[in-house]
Amino acid sequence: MSYYDTQYDRTPGAGSLYGPPASAPKTNGGWAAATLIFFWPLAFMAFSRALSVPMLWSQGRYAEAEAASHSVARLGKIALTLWIILVAAFIVLYVVAFAAMLSIGSTLPDQQ
């Protein structure tokens, strides 16, 4: 195995010895915005990775640009999943609290 075999991936679209891939990866700015809306602590990393994609691409670091693009999408999906879990937990707790109040209210003596 030569030096170039370990440094470059020869699969199509992954940046090979034959030049850069056909097009730059998407920055996935929509997923970065989703992290801001649904779970803002992840937004810092998502926006920094999204903004680094064009810079990495222009520097010829194609694999890193692809990885940054994929990580933005992954962070957006994680933020959306966390939001869904938190909303579902809130709804369950609200229903349990409401049922508890109804059961307590039905056992209290009548006030006159």
Cross-strand partners of 102: none
Q: Which two tokens stand for residue 16?
A: 């090979």
- pLDDT, residue 104, reads 82
Percent of the chain with pLDDT over 70: 76
CB 103 within 8 A of CB 87: no
The pLDDT assigned to 87 comes to 97
Give the pTM.
0.71
Tens-digit pLDDT profile for residues 41-60:
999 999 999 999 999 999 99
So where are the chain's domains? 3-107
99-102 — which CB contacts under 8 Å span 24+ positions? none
Q: What is the pLDDT of residue 103?
A: 84
